[in-house]
Amino acid sequence: MPRLNEMPRLVLLLVCGLSRAVWAGNPVTGEICADRRATETCAATQDVVLVVDNSGSVSDRFDGINEFLSRFVDRYELDANSVLSPRIGIVTFDSAFDSSKSDSARVLFPLTNNAAKLQWAISTRPGPHHNRVWTCISCGIDKSTELFSWFPRDEAMPLIIVLTDGEQSVHGGDEEAIYAADNIKADGVDVVTLSLGQANAYTMNTMASLPPATYSRKAETVEELLDEAYDLVPILCTESLYACRMMSDCRDPVQARPPVPP
Protein backbone atom coordinates (compact mmCIF):
# COMPACT_ATOMS: atom_id res chain seq x y z
CA MET A 1 0.00 0.00 0.00
CA PRO A 2 1.51 3.40 -0.94
CA ARG A 3 2.43 5.62 1.97
CA LEU A 4 0.49 8.80 2.51
CA ASN A 5 2.22 12.14 2.42
CA GLU A 6 3.31 13.10 5.90
CA MET A 7 1.96 16.63 6.24
CA PRO A 8 1.60 18.81 9.35
CA ARG A 9 -2.01 18.75 10.49
CA LEU A 10 -1.92 22.45 11.42
CA VAL A 11 -1.15 23.33 7.82
CA LEU A 12 -4.00 21.14 6.68
CA LEU A 13 -6.35 23.09 8.90
CA LEU A 14 -5.34 26.31 7.17
CA VAL A 15 -5.56 24.85 3.69
CA CYS A 16 -8.80 22.95 3.87
CA GLY A 17 -10.77 25.54 5.78
CA LEU A 18 -12.29 25.65 9.21
CA SER A 19 -10.73 24.12 12.31
CA ARG A 20 -13.66 21.71 12.30
CA ALA A 21 -14.07 21.80 8.55
CA VAL A 22 -15.52 18.35 8.20
CA TRP A 23 -18.69 19.49 9.96
CA ALA A 24 -19.48 22.28 7.52
CA GLY A 25 -19.36 21.82 3.77
CA ASN A 26 -17.99 25.11 2.46
CA PRO A 27 -16.24 24.16 -0.79
CA VAL A 28 -13.12 26.01 -1.96
CA THR A 29 -12.19 26.19 -5.63
CA GLY A 30 -9.47 23.68 -6.43
CA GLU A 31 -9.98 21.44 -3.41
CA ILE A 32 -11.04 17.85 -3.85
CA CYS A 33 -12.95 17.89 -0.57
CA ALA A 34 -16.54 16.75 -0.71
CA ASP A 35 -19.25 19.34 -1.33
CA ARG A 36 -21.41 18.75 1.75
CA ARG A 37 -24.09 20.57 3.66
CA ALA A 38 -23.56 21.43 7.31
CA THR A 39 -24.27 18.29 9.28
CA GLU A 40 -23.99 16.61 12.65
CA THR A 41 -22.33 13.61 11.04
CA CYS A 42 -18.83 13.18 9.63
CA ALA A 43 -18.54 13.56 5.87
CA ALA A 44 -14.73 13.40 5.68
CA THR A 45 -13.26 11.19 2.97
CA GLN A 46 -11.88 8.56 5.32
CA ASP A 47 -11.46 4.80 5.24
CA VAL A 48 -12.06 3.53 8.77
CA VAL A 49 -11.61 -0.08 9.86
CA LEU A 50 -12.97 -1.05 13.27
CA VAL A 51 -10.81 -3.85 14.71
CA VAL A 52 -12.94 -5.39 17.44
CA ASP A 53 -12.16 -7.89 20.20
CA ASN A 54 -14.59 -10.82 20.07
CA SER A 55 -12.85 -13.13 22.55
CA GLY A 56 -14.61 -14.81 25.44
CA SER A 57 -13.75 -12.02 27.89
CA VAL A 58 -16.14 -9.59 26.17
CA SER A 59 -19.11 -11.98 26.09
CA ASP A 60 -20.92 -10.10 28.86
CA ARG A 61 -20.45 -6.82 26.97
CA PHE A 62 -21.18 -8.11 23.49
CA ASP A 63 -24.50 -6.27 23.16
CA GLY A 64 -22.92 -3.05 24.38
CA ILE A 65 -20.09 -3.34 21.86
CA ASN A 66 -22.63 -3.92 19.10
CA GLU A 67 -24.49 -0.79 20.18
CA PHE A 68 -21.23 1.17 20.08
CA LEU A 69 -20.53 -0.09 16.54
CA SER A 70 -24.03 0.85 15.42
CA ARG A 71 -23.80 4.34 16.91
CA PHE A 72 -20.35 4.84 15.44
CA VAL A 73 -21.61 4.02 11.95
CA ASP A 74 -24.53 6.41 12.44
CA ARG A 75 -22.08 9.24 13.14
CA TYR A 76 -20.68 8.99 9.60
CA GLU A 77 -22.49 10.41 6.59
CA LEU A 78 -22.12 7.35 4.39
CA ASP A 79 -23.30 7.93 0.84
CA ALA A 80 -23.36 4.98 -1.53
CA ASN A 81 -23.61 7.38 -4.49
CA SER A 82 -20.52 9.46 -3.70
CA VAL A 83 -16.91 8.53 -4.48
CA LEU A 84 -15.81 10.91 -1.70
CA SER A 85 -18.02 9.34 0.94
CA PRO A 86 -16.47 7.93 4.12
CA ARG A 87 -16.18 4.14 4.15
CA ILE A 88 -16.21 1.84 7.16
CA GLY A 89 -15.16 -1.80 7.49
CA ILE A 90 -15.18 -4.16 10.47
CA VAL A 91 -12.70 -6.86 11.50
CA THR A 92 -13.08 -9.06 14.59
CA PHE A 93 -10.42 -11.04 16.43
CA ASP A 94 -10.15 -13.76 19.06
CA SER A 95 -8.16 -17.01 19.22
CA ALA A 96 -8.02 -20.53 20.59
CA PHE A 97 -5.00 -22.43 21.92
CA ASP A 98 -4.54 -24.22 18.58
CA SER A 99 -5.58 -21.38 16.23
CA SER A 100 -3.23 -20.00 13.61
CA LYS A 101 -2.82 -16.26 13.14
CA SER A 102 -4.96 -16.32 10.01
CA ASP A 103 -7.71 -18.17 11.88
CA SER A 104 -7.67 -15.65 14.74
CA ALA A 105 -9.21 -12.74 12.83
CA ARG A 106 -11.93 -12.39 10.24
CA VAL A 107 -13.56 -9.71 8.13
CA LEU A 108 -17.09 -9.03 9.32
CA PHE A 109 -17.64 -6.55 6.49
CA PRO A 110 -15.24 -4.95 3.98
CA LEU A 111 -14.90 -1.21 3.49
CA THR A 112 -18.23 0.18 2.32
CA ASN A 113 -20.22 3.38 2.13
CA ASN A 114 -23.51 1.49 2.52
CA ALA A 115 -24.80 2.14 6.05
CA ALA A 116 -27.69 -0.32 5.81
CA LYS A 117 -25.39 -3.22 4.98
CA LEU A 118 -23.04 -2.31 7.81
CA GLN A 119 -25.88 -2.14 10.31
CA TRP A 120 -27.12 -5.53 9.13
CA ALA A 121 -23.64 -7.03 9.58
CA ILE A 122 -23.42 -5.60 13.11
CA SER A 123 -26.86 -6.83 14.13
CA THR A 124 -26.20 -10.37 12.86
CA ARG A 125 -22.56 -10.82 13.84
CA PRO A 126 -21.80 -13.96 15.86
CA GLY A 127 -20.96 -13.59 19.53
CA PRO A 128 -17.84 -14.89 21.29
CA HIS A 129 -17.38 -18.66 21.26
CA HIS A 130 -16.72 -20.37 24.60
CA ASN A 131 -13.66 -22.14 23.15
CA ARG A 132 -12.11 -18.95 21.77
CA VAL A 133 -11.04 -17.21 24.95
CA TRP A 134 -7.62 -16.01 23.77
CA THR A 135 -6.87 -12.59 22.33
CA CYS A 136 -4.80 -11.83 19.22
CA ILE A 137 -4.77 -8.07 18.69
CA SER A 138 -2.00 -8.25 16.07
CA CYS A 139 -4.09 -10.74 14.07
CA GLY A 140 -6.89 -8.17 13.85
CA ILE A 141 -4.52 -5.38 12.84
CA ASP A 142 -2.89 -7.55 10.17
CA LYS A 143 -6.32 -8.49 8.83
CA SER A 144 -7.29 -4.82 8.59
CA THR A 145 -4.44 -4.23 6.13
CA GLU A 146 -6.16 -6.61 3.74
CA LEU A 147 -9.19 -4.34 3.59
CA PHE A 148 -7.08 -1.37 2.58
CA SER A 149 -5.31 -3.43 -0.10
CA TRP A 150 -8.54 -4.97 -1.46
CA PHE A 151 -10.25 -1.61 -1.90
CA PRO A 152 -7.51 1.05 -2.19
CA ARG A 153 -8.49 4.69 -2.44
CA ASP A 154 -5.65 7.21 -2.67
CA GLU A 155 -7.81 10.22 -1.84
CA ALA A 156 -9.01 8.78 1.49
CA MET A 157 -7.34 9.12 4.87
CA PRO A 158 -6.99 5.59 6.34
CA LEU A 159 -7.31 4.77 10.02
CA ILE A 160 -8.08 1.83 12.25
CA ILE A 161 -9.73 1.74 15.66
CA VAL A 162 -8.63 -1.15 17.88
CA LEU A 163 -11.20 -2.00 20.56
CA THR A 164 -10.17 -4.53 23.21
CA ASP A 165 -10.53 -5.25 26.92
CA GLY A 166 -7.28 -7.14 27.41
CA GLU A 167 -3.73 -8.01 26.44
CA GLN A 168 -2.59 -10.17 23.54
CA SER A 169 -2.37 -13.67 25.00
CA VAL A 170 -1.12 -15.69 21.98
CA HIS A 171 1.17 -15.36 18.94
CA GLY A 172 3.83 -13.16 20.49
CA GLY A 173 1.91 -11.30 23.18
CA ASP A 174 1.71 -7.53 23.48
CA GLU A 175 5.10 -7.09 21.79
CA GLU A 176 3.63 -8.54 18.60
CA ALA A 177 0.58 -6.26 18.91
CA ILE A 178 2.85 -3.21 19.13
CA TYR A 179 4.91 -4.47 16.18
CA ALA A 180 1.78 -4.89 14.04
CA ALA A 181 0.62 -1.38 14.96
CA ASP A 182 4.05 0.07 14.12
CA ASN A 183 3.95 -1.60 10.70
CA ILE A 184 0.56 -0.24 9.76
CA LYS A 185 1.46 3.24 11.03
CA ALA A 186 4.57 3.12 8.85
CA ASP A 187 2.24 2.60 5.88
CA GLY A 188 0.48 5.87 6.66
CA VAL A 189 -2.48 4.53 8.62
CA ASP A 190 -3.50 6.30 11.83
CA VAL A 191 -4.15 3.96 14.76
CA VAL A 192 -6.72 4.73 17.45
CA THR A 193 -6.84 2.42 20.45
CA LEU A 194 -9.96 2.12 22.58
CA SER A 195 -9.56 0.30 25.88
CA LEU A 196 -12.63 -1.26 27.43
CA GLY A 197 -11.99 -1.94 31.11
CA GLN A 198 -8.55 -3.25 32.03
CA ALA A 199 -6.63 -3.34 28.74
CA ASN A 200 -2.89 -2.80 29.20
CA ALA A 201 -2.39 0.98 29.22
CA TYR A 202 1.25 0.87 28.06
CA THR A 203 0.40 -1.38 25.12
CA MET A 204 -2.60 0.68 24.07
CA ASN A 205 -0.69 3.98 24.32
CA THR A 206 2.27 2.57 22.38
CA MET A 207 0.11 1.12 19.62
CA ALA A 208 -1.75 4.40 19.17
CA SER A 209 -0.65 7.17 16.86
CA LEU A 210 0.75 10.32 18.43
CA PRO A 211 -0.28 12.04 20.55
CA PRO A 212 -1.73 9.36 22.86
CA ALA A 213 -3.96 11.98 24.47
CA THR A 214 -5.88 12.06 21.18
CA TYR A 215 -5.45 8.56 19.78
CA SER A 216 -5.45 6.36 22.91
CA ARG A 217 -8.94 6.29 24.41
CA LYS A 218 -10.30 4.54 27.48
CA ALA A 219 -13.78 3.44 28.57
CA GLU A 220 -14.15 1.82 31.97
CA THR A 221 -17.74 0.74 31.35
CA VAL A 222 -20.08 0.02 28.45
CA GLU A 223 -21.81 3.31 29.19
CA GLU A 224 -18.52 5.16 28.71
CA LEU A 225 -17.90 3.16 25.54
CA LEU A 226 -21.24 4.31 24.14
CA ASP A 227 -20.26 7.90 24.93
CA GLU A 228 -17.11 7.37 22.85
CA ALA A 229 -19.29 6.77 19.81
CA TYR A 230 -20.25 10.46 20.06
CA ASP A 231 -16.98 11.88 21.43
CA LEU A 232 -14.51 10.08 19.16
CA VAL A 233 -15.86 10.79 15.68
CA PRO A 234 -15.55 14.62 15.81
CA ILE A 235 -11.94 14.22 16.96
CA LEU A 236 -11.13 11.81 14.15
CA CYS A 237 -12.79 14.06 11.60
CA THR A 238 -10.87 17.11 12.83
CA GLU A 239 -7.56 15.25 12.96
CA SER A 240 -7.91 13.54 9.58
CA LEU A 241 -9.26 16.59 7.79
CA TYR A 242 -10.97 15.88 4.49
CA ALA A 243 -9.45 14.38 1.39
CA CYS A 244 -7.49 17.33 0.01
CA ARG A 245 -4.60 16.64 2.42
CA MET A 246 -2.38 19.52 1.32
CA MET A 247 -2.16 18.48 -2.30
CA SER A 248 -1.25 20.77 -5.19
CA ASP A 249 -4.94 20.52 -6.18
CA CYS A 250 -5.80 22.44 -3.03
CA ARG A 251 -5.78 26.18 -2.73
CA ASP A 252 -2.98 27.90 -4.72
CA PRO A 253 -0.26 28.98 -4.28
CA VAL A 254 0.37 26.51 -1.44
CA GLN A 255 1.87 23.23 -2.61
CA ALA A 256 2.73 20.04 -0.78
CA ARG A 257 6.44 19.33 -0.87
CA PRO A 258 8.61 16.93 1.14
CA PRO A 259 10.96 18.55 3.65
CA VAL A 260 14.40 19.48 2.33
CA PRO A 261 17.14 17.31 3.88
CA PRO A 262 19.58 19.26 6.11
The whole-number pLDDT of residue 24 equals 37
How deeply is 7 buried, as exposed, middle or buried, from its count of CB atoms within 10 A (0-12, 13-18, 19+)?
A: middle
Q: Give this prediction's pTM.
A: 0.78
The whole-number pLDDT of residue 20 equals 31
State the CB neighbour count (10 A cutoff) for residue 205. Answer: 17
The whole-number pLDDT of residue 129 equals 81
Cα(first)–Cα(last) distance of the chain, in Å?
A: 28
Q: Are residues 163 and 122 in contact, defined by beta-carbon separation less than 8 angstroms? A: no
pLDDT tens-digit map of 45-59: 999 999 999 998 899
Measured between alpha carbons, how far is 191 from 236 in angstroms, rounded to an integer?
Answer: 11
What is the CATH number that goes with domain 42-240?
3.40.50.410
Cα angle at 106 between 101 and 111, to 5 degrees? 130
